[in-house]
């Protein structure tokens, strides 16, 4: 089964709920999904539980995410908003440098500039999908 890494912001309830819904959608389509907020841990919750170990908690989350990126067949990068999340951009760049295909998923009409997304970001992506149907089709073609 092909593993998909979901890269996206996870810092508020709406983001977390949306990420989980996309993860469930991809799982129902037959993919194994690595969703960082579930698999690597939610830093805001872990920091409250281990306040004296926040550096090691952050390092642990980072290492789990990097391992999962390395094991992924593709990355789905959530790009809603005028500018993408910083962590998502790092995950996109890492995957691109390792030759892991990255598909952008953006349902939001806001954009970085009148010319499109930031060129350094956009050119790391195989495609930007606007619908779940297009996302599944693109994933299917990339993960054959």
Q: How far apart are CA 76 and CA 61, in angstroms?
A: 19
| Cβ atoms within 10 Å, residue 57 | 18
Confidence category of residue 51, pLDDT binned at 50, 70, 90: low
Residue with tokens 């010319």: 115
pLDDT at 50: 65
pLDDT at 83 > cutoff 80: yes
Orientation of helix 13-28 relative to helix 132-142, angle to 10°: 50
pLDDT at 93: 98
| The 102-105 sheet, strands edge to edge | 32-34, 3-7, 74-78, 102-105, 127-129
pLDDT at 7 > cutoff 90: yes
Q: How far apart are CA 42 and CA 11, in angstroms?
A: 9
CA distances (Å), origin 136, targets 29, 30, 36, 91, 104: 8, 10, 20, 20, 12
pLDDT at 85: 93
pTM (whole model) above 0.85: yes
pLDDT at 12: 87
Confidence category of residue 11, pLDDT binned at 50, 70, 90: confident
Structure tokens at 116: 């499109």
Confidence category of residue 40, pLDDT binned at 50, 70, 90: confident
């Amino acid at each position: 089964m092909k593993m998909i890494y979901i890269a996206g912001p996870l810092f508020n309830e709406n983001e977390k709920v949306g990420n989980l819904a996309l993860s469930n959608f991809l799982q129902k389509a037959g993919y194994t999904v690595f969703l960082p907020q579930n698999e690597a841990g939610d830093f805001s919750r872990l920091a409250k539980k281990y306040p004296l170990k926040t550096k090691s908690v952050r390092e642990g989350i980072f290492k789990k995410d990097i391992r999962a990126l390395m094991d992924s067949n593709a990355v789905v990068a959530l790009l809603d908003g005028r500018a993408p999340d910083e962590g998502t951009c790092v995950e996109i760049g890492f995957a691109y440098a390792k030759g892991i295909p990255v598909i952008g998923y953006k349902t939001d009409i806001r954009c970085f500039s009148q010319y499109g997304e930031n060129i350094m970001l956009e050119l790391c992506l195989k495609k930007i999908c606007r619908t779940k149907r297009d996302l599944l089709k693109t994933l299917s073609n990339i993960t054959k």
